[in-house]
């Protein structure tokens, strides 16, 4: 029997946060109805982003609004608070919270009390002290960044088409991507595919005029799909005249010049940084145990080691992999594990409240799929290696089955069907990033937004 009014706080609205809350509101439906349990979800955004669809959103195959899942719609029995937890004092069962109204109220952060804590803030981009990176680079973790990058790429083609300065043209048509993981490879491949298609509508920009460069510090890309498929991916990208540079680092992008560790220099207006992630800074602002890499120490039951009534999963958690042969192995911080961990985590919270034994999280990694543009991909699933159209089809089928809610599945499928029947959209809506600029100018003021030709707003 659930104790009187169990207050469950879920920090984060990503994979783990949303799926945990979604399952909890089903598992505890009667208790919530009787007022014996309440679920609060604190998230910086009122939606969950299905990140595997970001490259297709950037390429225009999927509308941005269909890449996200509105939390208030799918979590009607939870209290959704748009804000950020900045610190947690688990000994006192309190979380420090700021919301959109905090500055307006002028009262400072609030204290939120809880009985059960689920920490799932995810991760943030892992950056290095590269000169110029903060000023000129763009990431690829959010739908805003994906659409901003799409607008930016098309705007660079507009600049190249209209300028008479060969140096400006060359920099506009040079695109540097740093990081050879899923995000970097899929983003580059989809955008190159889109840009190559778009050149047919320009009278003076051809596909061969563009330079696409992938920079990876290690000796391979896409390690999740295996060495063979990684080598195939390098060959496929190079066949499309994409410059893949392994064992190479970005040393500077100051003054809009990408300087690589192999001595190459590329004047460019586009640097996309996808070189890994690191734990969310919130974890360091808690009194909970962390690993050497800054992630939460967890048990196979997804409790935080040494802390009662505290749970974690996903990127923020170091979860023992009980299916691995070697002791001390942890599950990889990816979506495949996060979605499955959320299910076990929610079930275990319900078991704990009812005094029932907990379940152990055990899932053997089945493999990975990656899209390399329209009708192109690689996959290594259940020991089987696929490439080309079959891998691309598997990529779409798998992620369609995983995107939450029937509503989103139907909308994404409809868009794929329509995109197969009609031509690609090649419109840039960069002005959306500074919607007041035109009115401010008309009203006699100076537009507060910078040029939208740069994804970071610097021209």
Burial class (CB in 10 A: 0-12, 13-18, 19+), 4: exposed
CA distance 452 to 459: 8
**DSSP 8-state assignment for residue 36:** S
147: nearest Cα among 180, 216, 212, 194: 194
253, 289 contact by CB (below 8 A): no
271: nearest Cα among 370, 428, 59, 128: 128
CA distance 43 to 11: 6
CA distance 50 to 127: 22
**Helix (H), strand (E) at residue 13:** none
For CA atoms 364, 9, 359, 303, the dihedral sign is positive
Backbone φ and ψ of 400, nearest 5°: -65, -35
User: Tokens for 406?
Assistant: 């029937």
Per-residue pLDDT in tens (0 to 9) along the chain, 459 residues: 455 679 999 999 999 999 999 999 999 999 999 999 999 999 999 999 998 899 999 998 899 899 999 999 999 999 999 999 999 999 999 999 999 888 788 888 999 999 999 999 998 888 889 999 999 999 999 999 999 999 999 999 999 999 999 999 999 999 999 999 989 999 999 999 999 999 999 999 999 999 999 999 999 999 888 888 889 999 999 999 999 999 999 999 999 999 999 999 999 999 999 988 888 999 999 999 999 999 999 999 999 999 999 999 999 999 999 988 788 888 888 888 888 999 999 999 999 999 999 999 998 777 788 899 888 999 888 778 889 999 999 989 988 988 888 989 999 999 999 888 887 777 777 666 677 777 878 887 776 654 444 444 433
Burial class (CB in 10 A: 0-12, 13-18, 19+), 421: exposed
CA distance 288 to 295: 10
Backbone φ and ψ of 259, nearest 5°: -105, 120
CA distance 361 to 256: 47
Q: In terms of DSSP bridges, do strands 116-119 and 257-260 run parallel, antiparallel, or are they unpaired?
A: unpaired
For residue 224, the model assigns a pLDDT of 80
For residue 427, the model assigns a pLDDT of 75
For residue 449, the model assigns a pLDDT of 55
Residue recorded with tokens 């969950």: 48
For residue 106, the model assigns a pLDDT of 80
User: Tokens for 120?
Assistant: 């799932």
CA distance 450 to 459: 7
97, 82 contact by CB (below 8 A): no
For residue 112, the model assigns a pLDDT of 95
353: nearest Cα among 118, 119, 116: 116
All residues at 6 or more sequence positions from 47 whose CB lies less than 8 Å from its CB, including other chains? 13, 68, 69, 70, 71
CA-to-CA dists, residue 141 to 12, 27, 84, 129, 207, angstroms: 15, 31, 18, 19, 27
* The length of the chain, given as a count of residues: 459
Reduce the DSSP state of residue 163 to 3 states and report it. coil
CA distance 94 to 111: 6
179, 216 contact by CB (below 8 A): yes
430: nearest Cα among 410, 450, 407: 450
DSSP-assigned letters across all residues of 302-355: SBBTT-TTEEE-GGGEE-B-TTSSSTT-B--SSHHHHHHHHHHHHHHHHHHHTT
pTM: 0.88
């Amino acid at each position: 029997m659930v104790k009187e009014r169990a207050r469950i706080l879920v920090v984060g609205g990503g994979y783990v946060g949303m799926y945990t809350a979604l399952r909890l509101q089903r598992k505890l439906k009667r208790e919530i109805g009787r007022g014996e349990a309440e679920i609060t979800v604190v998230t910086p955004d009122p939606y969950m982003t299905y990140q595997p669809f970001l490259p297709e959103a950037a390429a225009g195959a999927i509308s941005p609004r269909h890449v996200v899942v509105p939390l208030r719609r799918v979590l009607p029995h939870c209290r959704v608070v748009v804000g950020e937890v900045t610190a947690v004092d688990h000994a006192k069962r309190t979380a420090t919270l700021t919301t959109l109204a905090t500055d307006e109220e002028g009262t400072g952060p609030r204290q939120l009390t809880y009985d059960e804590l689920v920490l799932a803030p995810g991760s943030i981009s892992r950056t290095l002290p590269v000169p110029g990176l903060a000023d000129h680079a763009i990431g690829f973790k959010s739908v805003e960044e994906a659409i901003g990058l799409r607008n930016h790429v098309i705007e660079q083609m507009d600049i190249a088409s209209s300028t008479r300065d060969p140096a400006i043209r060359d920099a506009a048509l040079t695109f540097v991507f740093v990081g050879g993981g899923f995000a970097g490879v899929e983003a580059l491949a989809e955008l190159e595919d889109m840009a190559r298609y778009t050149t047919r509508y320009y009278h003076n920009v051809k596909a061969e005029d563009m330079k696409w460069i992938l920079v990876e510090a290690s000796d391979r890309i896409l390690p999740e799909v295996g060495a063979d498929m990684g080598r195939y991916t390098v060959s496929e990208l190079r066949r499309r005249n994409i410059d893949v540079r392994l064992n190479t680092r970005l040393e500077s992008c100051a003054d809009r010049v990408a300087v690589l560790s192999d001595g190459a220099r590329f004047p460019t207006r586009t640097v996309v940084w996808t070189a890994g992630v690191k734990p969310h800074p919130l974890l360091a602002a808690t009194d909970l145990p962390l690993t050497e890499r800054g992630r939460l120490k967890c048990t196979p039951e997804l409790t935080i080691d040494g802390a009662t009534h505290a749970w974690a999963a996903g990127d923020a958690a170091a979860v023992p992999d009980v299916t691995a042969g070697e002791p001390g192995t942890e599950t990889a911080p990816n979506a495949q594990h996060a979605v499955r961990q959320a299910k076990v985590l929610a079930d275990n919270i319900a078991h704990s409240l009812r005094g029932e034994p907990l379940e152990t999280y055990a899932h053997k990694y089945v493999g990975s799929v990656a899209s390399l543009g329209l009708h192109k991909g690689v996959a290594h699933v259940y020991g089987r290696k696929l490439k080309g159209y079959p891998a691309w089809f598997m990529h779409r089928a798998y992620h369609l089955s995983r995107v939450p809610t029937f509503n989103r599945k139907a909308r994404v499928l409809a868009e794929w069907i329509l995109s197969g029947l009609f031509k690609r959209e090649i419109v840039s809506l960069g002005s959306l990033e500074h919607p007041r600029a035109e009115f401010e100018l008309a009203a006699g003021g100076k537009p507060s937004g910078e040029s939208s030709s740069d994804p970071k707003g610097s021209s």
